Structure 1
């Protein structure tokens, strides 16, 4: 077992309070959008940190100890030093010396970009093309930073708001009806006659996107519509909220085409490849295939590549995929997404005198969200307090837990 320390990402859509506050720490000196706890080469977690260290690096969040040498080994390097021991034979054969999943804490206080993730075949093709074109993997204009797909599951720790996938054409037309502006009527006719793909492409493509004054008028119409008479007050509110952050951006109107989703704490949402989505606000654990491939259409200052996004987006209407947990023991529930890369267990412990056996095998990442938990595997024992994490290798066999608290365990099915 190895103690882990995650790597924080200071994207502008994050805030200084949510993730530190989750574990009782003061606000950071800048935004903390995500904390990565995986072995992705873009920002691998550290192993071998002291037992007193928190989940994140104080130098990153508070400037404490800046300039000091980083002595800890990365999880990526730790796995590469003995991949058979860390990952196990089956995963090594299927994935190579790569940890199949990436687990994060995520806390948007402003909307994330309107985005889509590629399939594995699309990622491989796109990555190879950008490599051949000589685009640096760290370049801001890079779309494909690896060759992997990025299906993902979000487990809400607070109320969590998102926009996910497209509504049916008739439902979109119903939502838009009554917003008496020329742009609203154009969108309604386009959806019914040409389909959702045409309407979405019209809004997000720079060559066809409506002018800022037409966008503003439609946003105003959403704001002024009587909630009691609106066919979707949530759609109206989403447009207005997005426009507060991105005024005059035509892609805020894409939310009229999409399904609004509200998760309560403990609920989970799965995002398959090709599904357009935008997380709006909340705090969650996010687990995905180990990838950082994102195609963006708007609602961001980052690189946007609409033609590439339109190649991979799925325009068919589909309801959001809420994943129900399977109760595998009195203490443990598991979210099984329809992929082979990851599963997420939620363990609630209430008896410090009883060891609780976990059924997961292979490489596992344990993150303590509440309380304090003693973990045991491979003849070793370690205490993981709130706001700490550990990596358990495949060779260490069955994992046992006891204590008072709540942990999440990332594993491979």
Structure 2
């Protein structure tokens, strides 16, 4: 059982206070967008034995990860747990599947592309799940094409008329792809500004067909003037998660997280294909080659309760997210297996495994190897667990 120290990621969209205050540290005034708990090579967590988690696992991979995990994923932790705290929108992005990631990584390695310009810094896919700790806003996946056309109607903007015409002519996934390509690949700043102005005007007039969508376009256009990504708010599903709710984002699903505070669990990858709403590297062509344009509602995962634990089953093999709640009483067994990371959400829970006990408070985290079973919980509080199904 090892105490973890997260690796921090700064970005202009991150809150200056949410993550530091959650972890019980003094805010520095700089944005802290994410805190990483895991063994990703670019930013592994520290441990209480003086080394990082990746190096710790490399010493005894089969013992700490478990033979089954090593057989399936190799000698590496297959997931990455994060805290994420956006106060401004993240980039419009898609994550690749395994085949796309492996091919893209090989290609970029062969070409010697610099890290800052890479889409594929590793060869892994990146499905992910978000568990809200506060109200959490996002856009995720495509709306039905006919609904998108309805939202575009009435906007006195050439771009809106062209997109609506494409979708009415072909209200299929290929029509959505054509409209998305027209928007991201060919729209200029003036066209985007015209659409945003139209959304602002019909909001003010009180005759918007979707005040929420129009308000998102206006907000995104104010944050990123002239960026075609702002108009995608008319094409994508809006999502609001309340605390305790979870959203699964599969590979190929276009999305942007807008605001809130959440736990995020994903396959152990940092592959991101961006198409806008960012100052980072953008590759519209690669995103269009990987995005899934089939209209579908966001995938909300309802938990199943097993003992003291709510389990959010995702349709992937790399990770499993669960939340355990204790309110005193006799020690209870924590469901799960494989290498685990525990993160305290509130209260104080005593974690016992392998003859060792540690108290886990809000913002504190532990790594437990596959050989450290059973895990017993006592005390009163709540924690999130990342594990391998």
Trace 1:363-402 onto structure 2 (pairs within 5 A): 363-402=339-378
> Matches of 1:153 and 1:88 in 2, distance apart?
23
Trace 1:208-219 onto structure 2 (pairs within 5 A): 208-209=186-187, 211-219=188-196
On the 8 A contact 2:129/2:248 being kept in 1, the answer is yes
> Matches of 1:182 and 1:126 in 2, distance apart?
36
- Partner residue in 1 for 2:103: 125
- Partner residue in 2 for 1:67: none
Residue 24 of structure 1 deviates from its aligned partner by: 4.6
> Matches of 1:305 and 1:273 in 2, distance apart?
17
- Partner residue in 1 for 2:37: 37
Deviations 1:49-76 (A, max 9, x none): 6xxxxxxxxxxxxxxxxxxxxxx20100
Trace 1:271-286 onto structure 2 (pairs within 5 A): 271-286=249-264
Which secondary structure state, in structure 1, belongs to the residue aligned with residue 263 of structure 2? Answer: strand
> Matches of 2:152 and 2:334 in 1, distance apart?
49
- Partner residue in 2 for 1:62: none
Name which of structure 1's ranges 288-297 and 223-232 shifts more when overlaid on structure 2. Answer: 223-232
- Partner residue in 1 for 2:142: 166
> Matches of 1:163 and 1:401 in 2, distance apart?
37
> Matches of 2:343 and 2:269 in 1, distance apart?
20
> Matches of 2:272 and 2:153 in 1, distance apart?
33
- Partner residue in 1 for 2:178: 198
Deviations 1:240-268 (A, max 9, x none): 11111101112211121110101111100
Structure-2 change in CA distance of 1:19 and 1:45 (3 Å): same
On the 8 A contact 2:64/2:371 being kept in 1, the answer is yes
Residue 386 of structure 1 deviates from its aligned partner by: 1.5
Trace 1:151-162 onto structure 2 (pairs within 5 A): 151-162=127-138
Deviations 1:101-154 (A, max 9, x none): 100000011100000000001100001111111224xx2101111111000000
Aligned length: 384
On the 8 A contact 1:38/1:101 being kept in 2, the answer is yes
2:251 paired with 1:236: no
Deviations 1:350-404 (A, max 9, x none): 10x4211112011000000111111011121111221110000001112111111
RMSD: 1.3
> Matches of 1:176 and 1:379 in 2, distance apart?
63
Trace 1:178-193 onto structure 2 (pairs within 5 A): 178-193=154-169
- TM-score normalised over the length of structure 1: 0.91
- The counterpart of 1:109, out of the listed 87, 98, 108, is 87
- The counterpart of 2:126, out of the listed 128, 146, 150, is 150
2:74 paired with 1:96: yes
- Partner residue in 2 for 1:310: 288
- Partner residue in 2 for 1:340: 317
- TM-score normalised over the length of structure 2: 0.96
> Matches of 2:201 and 2:214 in 1, distance apart?
9
- Partner residue in 1 for 2:276: 298
On the 8 A contact 1:143/1:295 being kept in 2, the answer is yes
Residue 23 of structure 1 deviates from its aligned partner by: 4.2
On the 8 A contact 1:163/1:279 being kept in 2, the answer is yes
